[in-house]
Amino acid sequence: MNRSKSQIWVDKYRPQSFNDIIGQKEFVSRIRAFVESKNMPHLLFAGTPGTGKTTTALVVAKELYGADKLQGNFLELNASDERGIDVIRNQIKEFAKMQSLAQVPYKIICLDEADSLTKEAQQALRRTMERYSATCRFILACNELSKIIDPIQSRCVIFKFKGLKDEDLKQLIQKIVTSEELTINDEAIQRLLDISKGDVRKLENTMQAASVLDKNLTLTTINEVTNAIEIKELDEMIQYTLNGEFKKAREMMIKLKSVYGLSALEILKEIYTAVINLDIDEKKIIKLVDKIGTVEFRIVEGSDEELQLEVLLAMFSSINLNLK
């Protein structure tokens, strides 16, 4: 494989400056103002995965010290480090002791996944933050703000990172398509947006995986690299099926096949997973699984896929599941 192509896209396309950060506009300017005044409080970045928390922390450090002078000024730690809070505190201690060569009067410690710390560990972290606050600023990142204890929250300026909007993601898709010399159609773009749900990491990883199969990104290539099928119509179809609403279930099934390009076997597999997780009488589950097996066999043997799925939906609808 060509060397330049073997780079991971999430690194290749990681924003290097505030201007590169997509979405999150409202507060990027506030963070930029802190950086420009060189007067920065502790920051707490909260929000869903792949929305730019770690990236923004890195950009802050690069803007403050210069990309080549991070060492000695910027320490990145992961709170989910299984060696525990004491190891983290020691690393902070060693780092805080080191002489800084930068013009900026403090160093930055970025602690990722802070919400994975227990309450006790967070109390310890809070004391550490206080002890070194003259020389260090903390940037904490977490997915769930509610898991961060109040005393830490109240010491930080909090920024809530949201999933990126479709328009923003579309621009990014276009940028990557151009730079990687790919082609893509509208269906595939929509599918990428549905899968990533605002998570840029997921978007870039999916695009990269699909592009290895084929530089022409289509529904098929994208579906092929998505392990879990995450489509809202699929959940709806299963719900209609189990509620005995045959017509609506059939409508969804047709949409899944024609719009999303799912195969009958993929749909069956999802129905199967939903069925075995149902909280109903085991005898009923066995009956349902038996029907799925029958239909799967017929499809593998070459029967008409759509017809067989309809047969299954009809059979399900006729069994009284008493779900409500």
Q: Which residues bind ligand ATP (CB under 6 A)?
A: 10, 13-15, 21-24, 49-55, 141, 143, 161, 200-201, 204
Nearer to ligand ATP, 24 or 308 (CB): 24
Give bridge partners of residue 16 from the DSSP assignment. Answer: none
Residue type, 251: E
Using CB under 5 A, list all residues that contact Mg ion: 53-54
Q: How far is the CB of 63 from ligand ATP (least distance, A)?
A: 15
- Cβ proximity of 109 and 98 under 8 Å: no
Nearest to 215 by CA among 191, 175, 182: 182
Per partner kind, with CB cut-offs from 5 to 8 A, the member of ligand ATP, Mg ion, none near residue 132 is none
Nearer to Mg ion, 79 or 249 (CB): 79
Rounded distance, CA 254 to CA 237, Å? Answer: 10
Q: How far is the CB of 28 from ligand ATP (least distance, A)?
A: 9
DSSP 19: G
Per partner kind, with CB cut-offs from 5 to 8 A, the member of Mg ion, ligand ATP, none near residue 10 is ligand ATP
Nearer to ligand ATP, 206 or 241 (CB): 206
Q: How far is the CB of 213 from ligand ATP (least distance, A)?
A: 21
Query: Which residue's C-beta sits nearest to Mg ion?
Result: 54
3-state SS, residue 261: coil
Could you tell me the two tokens for 42?
Answer: 């502790």
Rounded distance, CA 45 to CA 28, Å? Answer: 12
Q: How far is the CB of 95 from ligand ATP (least distance, A)?
A: 21
- Cβ proximity of 183 and 151 under 8 Å: no
- The CA-based dihedral angle spanning residues 279, 283, 289, 294, taken in that order and rounded to the nearest 10 degrees: -160
Nearer to ligand ATP, 203 or 275 (CB): 203
Angle between the N-to-C axes of helices 264-276 and 232-242, in degrees from 0 to 180, rounded to the nearest 10: 60
Residues ≥6 apart with Cβ < 8 Å to 253: 237, 267, 306, 309, 310, 313
Q: How far is the CB of 61 from ligand ATP (least distance, A)?
A: 13
Per partner kind, with CB cut-offs from 5 to 8 A, the member of ligand ATP, Mg ion, none near residue 151 is none
Per partner kind, with CB cut-offs from 5 to 8 A, the member of ligand ATP, Mg ion, none near residue 317 is none
Nearer to Mg ion, 53 or 191 (CB): 53
Q: How far is the CB of 80 from Mg ion (least distance, A)?
A: 11
Per partner kind, with CB cut-offs from 5 to 8 A, the member of Mg ion, ligand ATP, none near residue 200 is ligand ATP
Per partner kind, with CB cut-offs from 5 to 8 A, the member of ligand ATP, Mg ion, none near residue 201 is ligand ATP
Q: How far is the CB of 12 from ligand ATP (least distance, A)?
A: 8
Nearer to ligand ATP, 54 or 221 (CB): 54
Nearer to ligand ATP, 13 or 316 (CB): 13
Residue type, 226: T
Residues ≥6 apart with Cβ < 8 Å to 267: 234, 237, 253, 256, 257, 309
Q: How far is the CB of 195 from ligand ATP (least distance, A)?
A: 14
Nearer to ligand ATP, 122 or 317 (CB): 122
Rounded distance, CA 230 to CA 227, Å? Answer: 9
- Cβ proximity of 16 and 165 under 8 Å: no
* Beta-strand runs (E) in the chain: 42-47, 74-78, 107-112, 136-142, 156-161, 183-184, 216-217
3-state SS, residue 218: coil
Per partner kind, with CB cut-offs from 5 to 8 A, the member of Mg ion, ligand ATP, none near residue 221 is none
